[in-house]
Structure 1
Amino acid sequence: MTPEVFVKEFEELKEYIGEGYFSEGSEISRLSRLQAAGFSASQIELTKELVSEALTDALYTVLLGLEGSASISRHQEMYKLLDESGQELTGKIESLAWERFHGKNT
């Protein structure tokens, strides 16, 4: 695995959760709960935007935290992340994560 693929996996996770929560028939859909609570279509759309922003913040921070360029909770430490073949993934994660999560409209 390359750092690019690793970061892309996080982006795909964000898309899976974000789309799944707001898609009828999805195994992880939360639409029925929102509708049962009386949310209007515009309120559901706002909630979708907020969930997307929260996922962006959380996943981006975790990626940077794994590389040591941000703290995860109270601690900031450098980690060396390796794939199963021993190839190091850390070292480029920060710039790749920025591009995936902030460099375009997410």
Structure 2
Amino acid sequence: MSSEEFVKNFYLEKQNILHSSFDNQAEHRSATSIKIKELELNEIQTEKLKKIVSDLLTDTFYTILLGLDGSASIGTTQESFKIYDEEHNLISEGGDLEGYAYDYFHGE
């Protein structure tokens, strides 16, 4: 897996979480989607909430990726991490994720 694929998978996970949070048709709904449905929001309110949740997820995933990359702190510590896959292939050695993260999360 490349650095770009690693970031892309984080982006896809963000999109999956967002979708499942507002999916009322799934057989196995998420706890979040059940709670949102219980709010009984109208369509405009639901779209506003969806935008807020999307922005929150974007900020969260983007910050985690930058934290792993050494470009932002995680908690009170800022350092870069080397990321390897299960076969010990290097995915990122620090400084490789920031550009891709920006493209995927803010280049929409």
Q: TM-score range by the shorter chain?
A: 0.7 to 0.9
Q: 1:78 to 1:32 in 2, by over 3 A?
A: closer
Task: Select the structure that is richer in strand.
Answer: 2
Equivalent position of 2:80 in the other structure: 78
- The alignment of Structure 1 onto Structure 2 pairs a total of residues equal to 104
TM-score (norm 1): 0.87
Q: CA deviation at 1:38?
A: 3.4
Which amino acid is 1:34 matched to?
I
Pairing 1:86-97 to 2, within 5 Å after superposition: 86-90=88-92, 91-97=95-101
Between the aligned partners of 1:32 and 1:50, the Cα distance in structure 2 is 17
Name structure 2 gaps, 5 residues minimum: none
Q: 1:36: how far off?
A: 2.6
- Rounded Cα–Cα distance in structure 1 between residues aligned with 2:37 and 2:6: 35
TM-score by structure 2 length? 0.85
- Give 2:42's aligned residue: 40
Displacement of 1:31: 4.3
Q: What is the identity percentage for the equivalent residue pairs of Structure 1 and Structure 2?
A: 38
Match of 2:58 in 1: 56
Q: Which runs of 5+ in 1 are unaligned?
A: none
Cα RMSD after superposing both structures: 1.6
Deviation at 1:81, TM superposition (A): 1.1
